[in-house]
A and B are shown apart, each in its own frame.
Chain A
Amino acid sequence: SQQGEEDPQALSIQEGENATMNCSYKTSINNLQWYRQNSGRGLVHLILIRSNEREKHSGRLRVTLDTSKKSSSLLITASRAADTASYFCANHQETSGSRLTFGEGTQLTVNP
């Protein structure tokens, strides 16, 4: 069963606005990763945050991790139409060995 859950399932915003997506998980993790998938394409890695980190930045992306709440959020600032895609979180659980568990994704639409 899926251990990662994204919220919301779909998000529609205007260009220039910020987009926030949330992800929850159920067990202790080693790290949590965010990926982007454009329609009909493979997944592209965005950012990885380790369990001992609380916040990471990469360009217009900001990821936070709250291990006490077992949740993470991805913030995209000053969104662009090109940010339209599905965004997935994936967690590496401490007890899962070499498995990465993906959530069901958030479909982000940025309207020009």
Chain B
Amino acid sequence: NAGVTQTPKFQVLKTGQSMTLQCAQDMNHEYMSWYRQDPGMGLRLIHYSVGAGITDQGEVPNGYNVSRSTTEDFPLRLLSAAPSQTSVYFCASSYAGGLLNEQFFGPGTRLTVL
């Protein structure tokens, strides 16, 4: 199994541009989530999904959209990039039962918005 994969690894955007960060898992996990990590801080939850067709907002959802059309994929869309969205983004997944089990994290996408 590849586990949780994220693409791209690095991205530079200009203010106002849009893009999609890809996340996929091949473990048939129901629960998937997106976090951002800023220097000296822990992870903050952006959006999460408890299953295909179901998404919900986390702690810092503004400026981001998600969808979950399949169990495997959970893309994160930046609608109009802002410098405040410069961060490292992590996708995570877990077995049924969501947070009752360990989270598997992807390697991250480092995003810079100029």
- For chain A, give the interface size range: 20 to 34
Could you give, for residues 20-63 of chain A, a 1 whenever the CB lies within 8 Å of some chain B CB and a 0 otherwise? 00000000001101010000111111001000000000000000
Contacts of A100 in B (CB 8 A): 33, 45, 99, 103
Contact B56 A98 (CB under 8 A): yes
Could you give, for residues 82-114 of chain B, a 1 whenever the CB lies within 8 Å of some chain A CB and a 0 otherwise? 000000001010000011111111111000000
- Among A4, A42, A99, A103, chain B packs the most CB atoms within 10 A around the CB of A42
- Decide yes or no: A48 and B56 within 8 Å by CB, A42-B107, A103-B42 being known contacts: no
Q: How far is the CA of A31 from the CA of B108 in the complex (A)?
A: 25
CB distance from B90 to the nearest CB of A (A): 6
Q: What residue in chain B is nearest A4 (Cβ atoms)?
A: B42
Contacts of B103 in A (CB 8 A): 33, 35, 43, 45, 90, 100
